[in-house]
């Protein structure tokens, strides 16, 4: 569905040729006190909105024709759906379960701006959580709460700078039944940090239609067969780094300089979980944490790589 639907409404200024996303204009007009619907940059007349597909296209092979047309992925999710049956058959997982990954995505953005907030190439952290259709609403609410808590409790982002924004009918993606953004109050206004989406069974059903084989799940609990519904958490890794730095930024006065002016220094107040380790500065050791046992050991930096290779070779899943 991305070829047909993965697009944003594009508006051009007839005078200065600046391009805008139509859904961003209201905020720009409000910010600049514009009430006549003119260009936020020069006051010129704007064109009617038209759809602009966000996927990068290219060609694979020696001939550039319709048969060689391919797209750079605009999200990491589709690889998970394509491999859904492989994961179920080899991992012996049972619904509900999630598949998560981190990877690059590419979008032909109308405008790129605000440092690393909006770029054409970025890192995504996405999870597709597969559930029974009758349990989708409960799982959706669960993951909304868990993702908000992750930013507040694990990254230490100030709670008052985070909020939920529910997508209206004109904002919903083609695959979504319901969707919320976790928004952060950036210096340039409230903007998306992460999206939580109820994707229904759209993706698995769509892949099944085009591969000619139904993609479903046999539930061993009651021997029922169904296409799982999906709750997606889609977080921008790049934006998470940006928000963590912005939220930690703090200026404090530590007295006066030699000219009698306030001596201000910049401090990053990170959450303890991600703050620099001051013991490292003293003895050149770091903490190695074991996921399964939660054990923590101090390891000299010089031997860290060797120790990690040893632990990986000897690892046995419980």
- The structure tokens listed for 222 are 């009651």
Q: What mean pLDDT comes out for the span 213-227?
A: 91
Same domain membership, residue 78 and residue 49: no
Same domain membership, residue 29 and residue 99: no
Asked whether residue 117 carries a pLDDT value surpassing 90, the answer given is no
Residue pair 193/235 in contact (Cβ under 8 Å)? The answer is: yes
Q: What is the mean pLDDT of the chain?
A: 86
What domain count does the chain have?
Answer: 3
Matching residue, tokens 């991992």: 91
Same domain membership, residue 296 and residue 179: no
Residue pair 158/138 in contact (Cβ under 8 Å)? The answer is: no
Same domain membership, residue 307 and residue 230: no
If you ran DSSP here, which 8-state letter would residue 213 be given? Answer: S
Give me the sheet containing 19-21, strands edge to edge: 19-21, 7-12, 50-53
What CATH number did the domain enclosing 41 receive?
3.30.40
Neighbours of 63 (CB within 10 A): 8
Q: What mean pLDDT comes out for the span 23-34?
A: 84
**204 in a structural domain:** yes
Q: What stretch of H or E contains 204?
A: helix 202-211
What CATH number did the domain enclosing 187 receive?
3.30.930.10
Same domain membership, residue 98 and residue 6: no
pLDDT score recorded for residue 2: 54
- Last residue of a domain, which of 205, 228, 246? 246
Same domain membership, residue 34 and residue 7: yes
Same domain membership, residue 150 and residue 77: yes
Domain with 104 in it: 71-246
Nearest to 226 by CA among 33, 51, 46, 95: 95
Same domain membership, residue 216 and residue 142: yes
CA atoms in the 13 A half-sphere facing the CB of 63: 3
**252 in a structural domain:** no
Matching residue, tokens 């049972």: 94
**263 in a structural domain:** no
Same domain membership, residue 39 and residue 161: no
Same domain membership, residue 239 and residue 185: yes
Q: What is the pTM of this model?
A: 0.70
Conformation bin of residue 228: beta by default, left when phi > 0, alpha when psi is -120 to 50: beta
**61 in a structural domain:** no
As a whole number of angstroms, the distance between CA 48 and CA 52 comes to 13
**258 in a structural domain:** no
Q: What would the pLDDT profile of 254-294 be if each residue is shown by its tens digit? A: 888 888 888 888 888 888 777 767 788 788 888 888 877 87
Same domain membership, residue 201 and residue 172: yes
Q: What would the pLDDT profile of 183-194 be if each residue is shown by its tens digit? A: 999 998 899 999
**58 in a structural domain:** no
Q: What would the pLDDT profile of 45-76 be if each residue is shown by its tens digit? A: 898 888 767 777 778 878 777 677 777 787 87
Same domain membership, residue 296 and residue 242: no
Counts for the chain of helices (H) and strands (E), in that order: 9, 17
Peptide bond before residue 58 is cis, with ω within 30 degrees of 0: no
């Amino acid at each position: 569905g991305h070829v047909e639907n993965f697009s944003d409404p594009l508006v051009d200024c007839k005078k200065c040729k600046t391009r805008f996303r139509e859904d961003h204009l209201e905020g720009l007009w409000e910010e600049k006190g514009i009430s006549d619907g003119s260009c936020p940059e020069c006051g010129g007349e704007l064109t009617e909105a038209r759809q602009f597909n966000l996927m990068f296209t290219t060609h694979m092979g020696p001939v550039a024709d319709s048969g060689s047309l391919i797209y750079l992925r605009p999200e990491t999710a589709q690889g998970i759906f394509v491999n859904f049956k492989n994961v179920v058959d080899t991992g012996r997982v049972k619904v509900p379960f999630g598949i998560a990954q981190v990877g690059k995505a590419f979008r032909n953005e109308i405008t790129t701006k605000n440092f690393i907030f909006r770029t054409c190439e970025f890192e995504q952290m996405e999870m597709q959580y597969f559930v029974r259709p009758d349990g989708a609403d409960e799982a959706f609410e669960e993951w909304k709460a868990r993702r908000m808590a992750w930013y507040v409790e694990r990254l230490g982002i100030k709670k008052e700078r985070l909020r939920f924004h529910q997508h209206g009918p004109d904002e919903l993606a083609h695959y979504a039944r319901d969707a919320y953004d976790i928004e952060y109050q950036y210096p340039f206004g409230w903007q998306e940090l992460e999206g939580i989406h109820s994707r229904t069974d759209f993706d698995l059903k769509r892949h099944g239609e085009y591969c000619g084989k139904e993609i479903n799940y046999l539930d061993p609990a009651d021997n029922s067969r169904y296409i799982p519904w999906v709750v997606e958490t889609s977080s921008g890794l790049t934006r998470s780094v940006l928000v963590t730095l912005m939220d930690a930024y703090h200026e404090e006065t530590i007295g006066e300089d030699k000219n009698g002016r306030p001596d201000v220094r910049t401090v990053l107040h990170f959450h303890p979980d991600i703050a620099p380790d001051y013991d490292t500065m003293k003895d050149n050791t770091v903490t190695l944490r074991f996921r399964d046992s939660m054990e923590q050991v101090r390891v000299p930096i010089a031997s860290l790589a060797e120790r990690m290779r040893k632990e990986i070779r000897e690892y046995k899943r419980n």
